């Protein structure tokens, strides 16, 4: 037998991808708990990383800079969900959004509301 590890390949057709509505229903029905740190990316449920001190510090520094630079010209949506497609609901470190009169009380922001998305890497 070869010393090389065989790569497990799963046929794409056997992968079950979820929609944003199905993802939300998993929380509503208790399949996913309210404290679970997960996001939906291209239909896959992905665990969100725990934030360490250097990451938190950088997020705070970027937020301070964005607030000074943008003022009230854009909404700074920090570590909150954005519906980017029917199969993606990530929680980016920042999303810079068009301002809305309702301040997103009626619905979550989506890709059309978004100027830019910023993710801090460790």
Q: Is residue 7 part of a domain?
A: no
Q: Is residue 73 part of a domain?
A: yes
Those residues whose C-beta lies under 8 Å from the C-beta of residue 13, and which sit 6 or more positions away, are none
Q: Give residue-wise pLDDT tens across range 32-48.
A: 999 999 999 999 999 99
Quick one: pLDDT at residue 95?
98
Q: Is residue 1 part of a domain?
A: no
Q: Is residue 2 part of a domain?
A: no
pTM of the model: 0.83
Q: Give residue-wise pLDDT tens across range 63-100.
A: 999 999 999 999 999 999 999 999 999 999 999 999 99
Q: Is residue 33 part of a domain?
A: yes
Q: What is the CATH number of the domain that holds 55?
A: 3.90.1570.10
Phi, psi of 77 (to 5 degrees): -100, 105
Number of folded domains in the chain? 1
Q: Which domain holds residue 21?
A: 12-118
Q: Is residue 102 part of a domain?
A: yes
Q: Is residue 4 part of a domain?
A: no
């Amino acid at each position: 037998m070869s010393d090389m590890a065989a790569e497990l390949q799963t046929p794409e057709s056997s992968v079950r991808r979820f929609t944003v509505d199905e993802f939300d229903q998993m929380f509503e029905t208790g399949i996913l708990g309210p404290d679970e740190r997960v996001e939906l990316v291209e239909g896959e449920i992905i665990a969100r990383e725990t934030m360490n001190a250097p990451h938190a510090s950088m997020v705070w520094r970027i937020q301070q800079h964005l607030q000074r630079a943008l003022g009230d010209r854009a909404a700074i949506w920090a570590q909150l969900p954005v519906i980017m497609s029917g199969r993606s609901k990530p929680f980016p470190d920042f999303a810079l959004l068009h301002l809305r009169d309702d301040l997103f009380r009626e619905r979550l922001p989506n890709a059309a509301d978004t100027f830019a998305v910023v993710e801090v890497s460790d």
